Structures are given as structure tokens and as C-alpha cells.
Amino acid sequence: MSVPKKNLYNFITAIFVALVITSSGVLTTNAYAQIPSTGITSPIQSQSPSPSPTPIPSGTVPTTGPSLPAPTSTPPQTVAIPSSTNYTIGKTSSGLVASDSFTNETASQQQLQSSNGNGYWFYGGDAPAENAPYTVWRDTQGLHIGAQAPTNGTYAGYYAVTPQTTATLYHVKVTAPVETIPSNVSLFENGMYVQNGTMDVNYVVCSSATSNIGTQWVVVGANGDVNGANTYTPFWWTAMTPTQPLSVDCTIITNGTNYLKVLLNNVPVYESKSLKLNMSSNFITFMEPQSSYAGQMLNGTFQDFYATSGGNVTVTNNPPGAANVKIVQSISSGNGNVLVSAPVDATGTAVLYAENQPMPINAYIITYDAKGDAMAETNGPVNIYGGDAYSVSGSATSYTISSTNPLPPPSNLVATTVSQSQINLTWSAPPTATALVTGYKIERMDGNSATWSTVVANTNSISTAYNNTGLAPNTTYTYRVSAVYGAAASSPTNTASATTLALQYQLTVASNLDTGRALNGLFTVLYNSTGQGIATGFTPASFVLNTGAQYAVAVANYATFVFDHWMDNGSTSNPRQVSITSDTTLTAVFKDTAVQLLPANGPAGTLVTVTGTTFASGTNITLTFDGTALATTPAIVTTNSTGGFSATFQVPLTASSGTHIVTASDGTNVHSALFTVD
């Protein structure tokens, strides 16, 4: 491609600085509307301010990829368009920077080229310098630009380029002329380039690329210097096939530095916030075909160009009770389709995502309350562009929420203690109007206070859960939650209370026998998380533990009393791991091994051998079954010189299922064991 000579560029720059604006008013602040190609005088527009983009080299982009996205087919919501509202929505600033349908006039190549220096578009390229055929004209089908390479494999191009702008959204419909070209060394590209406004050739392009294989659509970034681009980064592309659509709506949104978003057919295909585009905040936009095919003139076509300051539409000053704002396109008398909808935040502002809509959007802007009633609207349908700002102005009568049809509140609030400083809340969303909720208001009463305080005025989230942290330990908190609908809130839920954990709680370790008989005075040790013993006592032993900290507790056997299990969970672990969040009692259960039964279970009538130890020597033993004396063999049971004995008895035939206590006593020493009747 040709590069303007340095002295010519400096001369043009001097003109640019000296002549900022003319009486034509074309350069009024970011405001162009359907600008014709001829008849407007503006020296600032008289020259392309930087070199034209260089073509994308063959092989830069893979030839396999996805299909072009189809425009969304989801049926839109239909709503009634009100005949009148209390409030009016009016435009406060325009986001339109430039707009040209390219179909609004008929102009020949001579007419277009003679407008250079006087019209909005500047026409140029390297085709004339290469003696390569080219053409440009406008008619009701759009702007047509053609180029033919001087030889196969050598590029020639021609373009229409804008003045420098600070727009961030650029759109045009690009049409390629053919699906294939009969040359394996040639390529035809036709696209919209958003390029750096300085001399360095840094750009982002949405373009067709046609070869002897087929056509593909590509999104590519390029970086370079005044001599052209030298590095290319493909961001998105389709497969190269002979059946691609030849017309595509291209939208490029960028700040020139790190952010880029591209929509094809109004569907997002690429977005990044971490690029290095190396472009200034001033851009120029090229409509340009570039061809390395010498076999024929190939004409690219462009329609519906516009540049805006952004992709969103902002509506401020919405009244109390406003829940959402919609862009509604009329489809019949009194009815319309919802194209865009956005909630109203606590400041009364709604930001409507409109970058995926063909612009201008000829539609109403309507504000609704949570019940779906219209509160404000524009005076009829208006032409809406991305970056537009609107504001609501109202009648003398302020809008109030009907007491007979209140905003639906949430329900089923539950407060759950988590720690010494945190309580978690959950609730159910309102059963109706859920889609209109923009957040939740959370209030609480602390301790013995009877006054509600606001924890958060608006969560700005539809999540029905909230974690309240930073609370005082061992304190009761009471909560209620209201649904937020834009600038209004519903009545609150039920109240729910929870108490944060204390810093410390008491652990009591008790002990008893498996027969239920009390057993106190067993040695107990408390260990910290590293296994170091930090406290001792005798059952029932009491210790003070830090809330939630990890400890272990162990009980010691004594004489014939042997640890068996923990009563609360049946665990046989000794030591046992302990972490408490309330005052807690743990009971260790022991067996008395001074009396042994064999077997220890069976049906009623079972013959059981009972042995005993540690009784007084030479004394008679009395055996009982649940307190009733047993007939034994031998009939008189006497201990030996070491205090031991052995005898047999029959489990009573009337014994019920379950555990029963067998007790042996020498008049002084009493020991028991359990027998289980199956």
C-alpha cells in the first residue's frame, strides 16, 4: 500500500492545527447524522491523517473454524405501550458520532473524488500509484469500492476513510462480491478497519477473505509503524468455504489500548480486556477492499455505517418505585416488542446494553415499576444510539406505591450461627416479580437493642444468601430482609435470630458404668492440638476450651473399671478428639471386669457361668438377676483364698429381651455385669 510522504503529512497536520472548524458546523461535538459524501466544507477532513492499512498476509489466519453466528431467534417479550405516564423521558446527550447509510444518494467516482477536502469521506489508496484498476461509486445499494491487482500476488487497494474520531463503537455491513477467485496465489479482502489515528499502522479489522478455496470472515489485529503493519494477531475467524454468507454486519468496540469486543450479525464473537492494541484514543475508519487478484475488478460493498461513543444507553433520574427500564419497539397500535431491558439501581439509574441492536433503534424508552405498570416514557418512538443518555422528568404528583398492591417481599428468613463473629442468612425470593428484584436490604437488631440498623441498603445481587461477619462473640442478633426494586423496597420478611459463639465454653467429662451405676473419681487428661497435656482432673472433671479449637481428652482405667466407650457417639477412641461450640458434657462408660459372664448373651433359660475376682477371701457370694436372688450351682458360692469364685446359673425363663444386671456381693464388695437376652 502507498504511504503519504512525510512532508505532505506535516503540511496536512499544520492545516489540521490551524483550521479546527468551519462555519458548516460539521465538527460540532461528536454529532454527525446521515452525512452526505459531497457539499460539506471542512479542511480538517481534507486528508487521511495516517497511512492506510496493509492487507492481512496469506496464511495469517487458519482456514478452518466455526460458522458465522446467526442473529438471535428468541421470541421477544411483548408489552403494551402506554398512552400516557406520570413522567417523561427525554434525551440529555447523544452518543452518535457519525452515521452514513451509504444508500441515501447516487454519486459517481468523479463526484466522490472531487469531494476530497469538502466531504466527510476522503477517498484514496495505492491502486492509482500502481496503475492498478480501481473504482468507487454510491447508489441505493450502498458504497461500492473496487480494486484489481496489477499482477497476481501483488496487492492493490482503494478506500474511503473517516476523519479522526473518539468514538468507541463502529458498525458497517460488509458485502464480499464472490465466493472464490480462480488463482491460488491471490486473495481478495474487503472490510472495515478501525485504525490508530497517528502515523503508526495499528488497527483492528473485520473483513472477508476470498481465495480459490472459498471465503471466510476474520477479525484480526495488526501492529506496525509508518511503513505498514508487521505483526498480525487473528482474534476470531470462520472456516474458509465456498458457501459462506457474503454479507455480514460487523461491529467493533475498542478503547484502542486493552479492550476489544467484536460482534458479527449483532452476536458477540470475541471480547478481551487484556490486549496490547497500541492505538491512540483517536481513530480513523477505513472501508477498503484490497486485492492481489489481477483477473478481474472485484467490488466490495458497504452499508449502514455508524460510530457512537459507546454501546450502552443510560437512563437517569428514574422516580422512586422504578424497577426497570425497557427499550420497546412498536409492532402494532398500543403494543411493542422488548428489545433491551435493565434494572434500575438505587441511584435511579438504568444502563441498557444496546450494542447488539442495529442502530438507530427506533423505539420507545419506558420505565416500569415492580408491578409492571408504566411510570415514564419518551414522547413517542425515538432514534436511539449507543452512548445516548436520557433522563426522567415528572409530573407535579409524586409517584407512590399502591398500598393495595404492595411490592412482593421475600420470606422464610433463617439465621445460622457460624462462628464467634459470623452469622449466615438465607431466605426465599419473592414468589412473584422475582425478575424485577435488583437486590435486597438487610437490617438487624444487636443484643438487647430495640432499634433496627441497616447492614446493607442494597446487595445489588439476586442471591438469597448473605454472610454477616465482624460480629461480637456471644451476642444475639435479630434480622429482617426486604426486596429492593430499583429505588423502592418491599416490606420485610419474618425476623430471625441467632447467637454468635462465645470465646470459650466449658467441657465436663463424666463417667459411669455400663450398668448405669455411678462411677466418679477417674483420672482425666486434656491435651492441646499438638498432643501436649494441658490440664487434668477427676470425673466429673471440668475444663475451659477455646471455641472451635482442637483438643483431645482421655480417661484412665482404675482397678477393675475399664473404659469401654463414649456414651454420646459410641466411639471407643481414648483419647478422643474434641472441638466444642457450646457448653458440653461427655460421659465415658466403663465395664466392671470383677464379674465376667460366659456367655454374655443368649435366650431366656441360657446356662451361664459367672466368675468373680477381687472379693474378700473365704466369704459367701450372693448372686442376683435384676435384684432377684439366683439359684446357683453350687448352691452356696464361697470365694477362695484370693477372693475369686465360679458358679453357674440359669437365666430366668421369664426374662424379657434386652439387658439385665447380674450382681455379685460379699456383703462389702459389690460388682456387676450385663447379660443381654436375645
CA angle 269, 271, 273 (to 5 degrees): 175
Region 606-620: mean pLDDT is 96
The model's confidence at residue 9, banded by pLDDT at 50, 70 and 90, is: very low
pLDDT tens digits for range 217-238: 999 999 999 888 899 999 999 9
Q: How far apart are CA 206 and CA 218, in angstroms?
A: 6
CA distances from 608 to 604, 623, 648, 658, 678 (A): 11, 12, 6, 16, 14
The model's confidence at residue 50, banded by pLDDT at 50, 70 and 90, is: low
pLDDT of residue 435: 67
Contact at 8 Å (CB) between 601 and 675?
yes
CA distances from 515 to 304, 596, 611, 650, 675 (A): 93, 13, 17, 20, 10
The residues facing 210 across adjacent strands are 188, 215
* pLDDT of residue 554 exceeding 50: yes
The model's confidence at residue 490, banded by pLDDT at 50, 70 and 90, is: confident
Region 441-457: mean pLDDT is 91
pLDDT of residue 398: 42
pLDDT of residue 198: 81
pLDDT of residue 485: 82
* pLDDT of residue 497 exceeding 90: yes
For residue 531, the tally of other CB atoms under 10 A from its CB is 8
The topology under which CATH files domain 595-677 is Immunoglobulin-like (2.60.40)
pLDDT of residue 280: 84
In sequence order, the 6+-apart residues with CB closer than 8 A to the CB of 5 are none
Chain centre to alpha carbon of residue 677: 62
* DSSP secondary structure string for all residues of 216-263: EEEEEEEEEETTEEEEEEEEEE---BTT--SEEEEEEEE-SSS-EEEE
> Which CATH code fits 504-591?
2.60.40.10
The model's confidence at residue 199, banded by pLDDT at 50, 70 and 90, is: confident
CA distances from 538 to 514, 559, 598 (A): 19, 15, 33
pLDDT of residue 332: 84
pLDDT of residue 653: 94
* pLDDT of residue 12 exceeding 50: no
| Low-confidence winner among 73-77, 161-165, 568-572 (lowest mean pLDDT) | 73-77
Q: How far apart are CA 620 and CA 132, in angstroms?
A: 131
**CATH architecture classification, 6-71+104-308:** Sandwich (2.60)
Identical fold between 411-499 and 595-677 = yes
User: What is the residue-averaged pLDDT of the chain?
Assistant: 87
* pLDDT of residue 479 exceeding 50: yes
Q: Which amino acid is at 258?
A: N
pLDDT of residue 401: 41
- Beta strands (DSSP E) in 473-619 are 476-485, 488-492, 496-499, 504-513, 523-527, 533-538, 541-546, 551-555, 561-566, 576-578, 584-592, 595-598, 601-602, 607-612
Q: How far apart are CA 582 and CA 585, in angstroms?
A: 10
| Low-confidence winner among 163-172, 309-318, 478-487, 656-665 (lowest mean pLDDT) | 478-487
pLDDT of residue 213: 95
In this structure, are strands 504-513 and 584-592 parallel, antiparallel, or unpaired? Answer: parallel
The model's confidence at residue 432, banded by pLDDT at 50, 70 and 90, is: low
Q: What are the backbone angles phi and psi of residue 437, rounded to the nearest 5°? A: -70, 130
In this structure, are strands 389-394 and 312-316 parallel, antiparallel, or unpaired? Answer: parallel
pLDDT of residue 548: 87
Task: Determine whether domain 78-94+311-394 maps to CATH 3.30.450.
Answer: no
Q: How far apart are CA 297 and CA 132, in angstroms?
A: 10
Percent of the chain scored above 70 by pLDDT? 90
| Low-confidence winner among 69-73, 164-168, 289-293, 603-607 (lowest mean pLDDT) | 69-73
The model's confidence at residue 403, banded by pLDDT at 50, 70 and 90, is: very low
* pLDDT of residue 32 exceeding 90: no
DSSP summary character for residue 196:
E
| Low-confidence winner among 29-33, 274-278, 338-342, 430-434 (lowest mean pLDDT) | 29-33
pLDDT of residue 307: 96
The topology under which CATH files domain 411-499 is Immunoglobulin-like (2.60.40)
- Domain boundaries of the chain, sorted by first residue: 6-71+104-308, 78-94+311-394, 411-499, 504-591, 595-677
Contact at 8 Å (CB) between 461 and 425?
no
Cis peptide upstream of residue 603 (ω within 30 degrees of 0): no
Q: How far apart are CA 678 and CA 675, in angstroms?
A: 10
